[in-house]
Amino acid sequence: MEKQITRTSEINWKPLIEEGVNTNGISIKALCFDPIAKRPKAFLSKFEAGASYPNHIHPAGEEIYVLEGEVRSGKDELKQGDYLYMPPGSTHSVYSKTGCVLLFIVPEEVVILK
């Protein structure tokens, strides 16, 4: 991948759409798009109040930094300024009661657990 600068103030929030997954109330701004994997590996995600993402596994791990608001990642309560590293093979769901904006680094596509 080549050097890339993303000016987030110039990008509109786009609804997160994943086939077979309820992602109502979740929007993203892609920061670093991987053309080979055809997906962003780093992105901002905005959860409206009450939005949630289902239980899933991270084959290559995940990093989350809370820019605004509060969020629950599995059993962990995260607030503005908190950072969470999830090692490969970790599972969790994500829920925000009040709404939040998060920075995600997800090296590999997640697998939804049913």
Q: Is the pLDDT at 72 greater than 80, yes or no?
A: yes
CA distance 102 to 88: 20
Structural domain tally of the chain?
1
- At 1 the pLDDT is 65
* Residue 2 within a domain: no
* Residue 3 within a domain: no
- Domain carrying residue 81: 17-104
- Mean pLDDT, rounded, for 61-80: 96
57-70 pLDDT per residue, tens: 999 999 999 999 99
Query: Which of the four pLDDT bands, split at 50, 70 and 90, describes residue 3?
Result: confident
CATH assignment at residue 97: 2.60.120.10
* Residue 51 within a domain: yes
Residue 81: Cβ-neighbour burial (10 angstroms; 0-12, 13-18, 19+): exposed
